[in-house]
């Protein structure tokens, strides 16, 4: 079966678009990994304001990755349909496979870094809880009733003068 030039051009366009989307996703994952690494430093430095900023940035990046994935999935189906048994070069197919492998590796790194950050945050939260408990227990007034909170009967006559 001989392909027309239009079919070949269409398949090449699908390949180029798919490759471009994979590159964009790879760049987003690299950016996400960088944010997670910076976030780890801020957790260790106990910089709360920077952590909030990193969390907001992280949400934006994850949203971008999710939106990009929604576009990549149908494009990958198109790519698989046109690349199967066609004249697309082995170099083109290999470049896509390399990029997909690199993306999978970046995803693993992101998951590992995210797990590390979660563990650090849990340890930090436990540390803060212990500090609060120590402060609470060191308070000499803890557990004592205030002399002002007693309900004693008021004795004596009060006369209001007009």
pLDDT digits (tens, 9 = 90+) for 5-16: 888 888 888 888
Average pLDDT, the chain: 83
Average pLDDT of the segment spanning 53-78? 87
Ordered by where they begin, the domains of the chain are 5-140 (1.20.58)
The answer, yes or no, to whether residue 36 has pLDDT greater than 70, is yes
* 34 pLDDT higher than 90: yes
* pTM score: 0.70
pLDDT for res 25: 92
Q: DSSP readout, 9-55?
A: HHHHHHHHHHHHHHHHHHHHHHHHHHHHHHHHHHHHHT-HHHHHHHH
| Res. 80: pLDDT tops 60 | yes
30 pLDDT more than 90:
yes
- Cα angle 16-22-26, degrees, rounded to a multiple of 5: 145
Checking if the pLDDT of 32 tops 60, the result is yes
Q: Over the stretch 97-141, which tens digit does the pLDDT of each residue have?
A: 888 899 899 999 999 998 999 999 899 889 989 988 888 777 777
The rounded percent of the chain whose pLDDT value lies above 70 is 84
Residue 43: which of 110, 102, 122 has the closest Cα? 122
143: left (phi over 0), alpha (psi -120 to 50) or beta: left
**pLDDT higher than 80, residue 153:** no
Q: Is the pLDDT of residue 157 over 80?
A: no
């Amino acid at each position: 079966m001989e392909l027309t030039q239009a079919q070949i051009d269409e398949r090449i366009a699908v390949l180029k678009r798919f490759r471009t989307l994979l590159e964009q996703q790879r760049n987003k994952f690299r950016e996400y990994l960088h944010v997670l690494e910076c976030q780890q430093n801020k957790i260790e430095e106990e910089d709360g304001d920077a952590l909030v900023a990193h969390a907001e940035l992280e949400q934006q990046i994850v949203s971008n990755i999710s939106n990009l994935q929604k576009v990549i999935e149908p494009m990958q189906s198109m790519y698989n349909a046109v690349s199967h048994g066609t004249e697309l070069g082995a170099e083109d197919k290999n470049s896509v496979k390399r990029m997909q492998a690199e993306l999978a590796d970046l995803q693993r790194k992101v998951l590992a870094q995210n797990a590390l950050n979660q563990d650090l945050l849990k340890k930090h939260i436990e540390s803060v809880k212990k500090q609060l408990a120590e402060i609470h227990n060191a308070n000499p007034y803890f557990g004592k009733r205030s002399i002002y909170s007693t309900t004693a009967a008021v004795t004596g006559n009060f006369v209001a003068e007009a």
